[in-house]
Amino acid sequence: MTTPASTGTAFGNITALPEDRRLGRSNWPEWKNEIEYMLINHDLKGHIDGSTPCPAAIHVMPPPAAGAAAVAAALVTVTNQAQIDTWKSIDKKIRGYLVTNIRNFFSSGVVDEGKTAREVWDQLCSKREKRTVQTAVDAERYLEALICPEGGDVNAHFDELWRRWYVVKQAGSQWTEERFVIAICESLPSSFDSTVIFISENSSKYDPQDAMNAVLRKVTVVSPVRLFSDGQVLQMISGLIPACN
């Protein structure tokens, strides 16, 4: 375990994060990892995970003289008070470091007054990780809600899928690329079943772009070239105009 003296020196080298990397509405996973890495790198993570608790006070009472028990009790001393004070000083700085790196602290719902760094950290984890899970679920549902209609623009549909996939990843979703491939297949109309069934059954062999390319090749191959309008076809059937001019 790192001694308080060495952690005090290390803390002096930690600087606040740039404004764009401080904790905002949607960057909890990245912010958490960066803060943890910073504290680990300076042997300070124990203040937020509980592995470096405040030292317990060591009390020493002098031997009481006859009839002087009350006086002796008043002379109890804490032999490691300096170590305790050093720990508290470092912990207060870490707590301040956490608070400083939150963009809108007063609207964060976190209480820091009279709290240790670990208590502030636990509040953040409790609030943000619960919110992050729900945000990820909402983003996944948002992507799944996108369905390409029959005859729709497949290229435009895929562009929107990519945009929503980015939203899913930014929300901290645990979806893999294989799961995205399946979502791509599920978003296409039934006329693509012959293609997407094979891709779905072999989703582990496709990355998202490969799956989209396979669908687009199918569109290119099967799209008929129309030589006559519907009206002309009806006229030909009725014998109103010759089949060839």
Q: Rounded to an integer, what distance in angstroms lies between the CA atom of residue 213 and that of residue 215?
A: 5
Q: Rounded to an integer, what distance in angstroms lies between the CA atom of residue 48 and that of residue 116?
A: 8
Q: Rounded to an integer, what distance in angstroms lies between the CA atom of residue 21 and that of residue 102?
A: 9
Average pLDDT for 40-45: 93
**DSSP letters for 109-127:** T---TT--HHHHHHHHHHH
Rounded to 10 deg, the angle between the 117-144 and 177-186 helix axes is 30
Q: Rounded to an integer, what distance in angstroms lies between the CA atom of residue 188 and that of residue 147?
A: 6
Q: Element (H or E) spanning 48, and its range?
A: helix 46-49
Cβ neighbors of 199 (< 8 A, separation 6 or more) are 181, 184, 185, 206, 211, 214, 215
- What's the whole-model pTM score? 0.54
Q: Which residue has the higher pLDDT, 28 or 206?
A: 206
pLDDT-derived band at 70 (thresholds 50, 70, 90) equals: low
Q: Note the pLDDT tens digit of each residue in 220-231.
A: 644 443 444 445
Whether the pLDDT of residue 148 is over 90: the answer is: yes
Q: Note the pLDDT tens digit of each residue in 129-141.
A: 887 788 889 999 9
pLDDT-derived band at 77 (thresholds 50, 70, 90) equals: confident
Contact 157, 148 (CB under 8 A): yes
Q: Which residue has the higher pLDDT, 132 or 65?
A: 132
Tokens of 227: 């030589």
Average pLDDT for 149-162: 95
